[in-house]
Amino acid sequence: MYITSIFCLCTYTCDKNGILARTNDRYKSAYNQMLARLKTLEANFELPSETVLASELGVSRTIIRSILGQLHAARIISWRGRRKRLLRQPV
């Protein structure tokens, strides 16, 4: 069962005990969209700002920061301050 809050537009699901838990569907979808986008770019390409990425993927900057952190940890991008560069295409 999914419930969408009118106030924060978050998606929640009920577990078997009826307890609401927030899902990460938006994160997963945006992460996969970002990977697909990065596969079309050349190495050393400079990525746009967090605001632009959030707008293009239809998610918050918080989700974009999480995605960038994951890509940085996987050494797919370099992220220093506001500069984000593609180091290699994702596999």
Q: Where is 78: in which H helix or E strand? A: strand 77-80
For the chain, the straight-line distance linking the first and the last C-alpha, in angstroms and rounded, comes to 34
Which DSSP letter does residue 3 get?
Answer: E
Q: Mind listing the pLDDT tens digit for each residue in 44-70?
A: 999 999 999 999 999 999 999 999 999
Report d(CA 30, CA 28) in Å as an integer. 6
Quote the pLDDT of residue 56: 96
Provide the residue type at 31 as one letter: Y
The encoded tokens of residue 82 equal 């506001």
pTM over 0.85: no
Split at pLDDT 50, 70, 90, the class of 32 is: very high
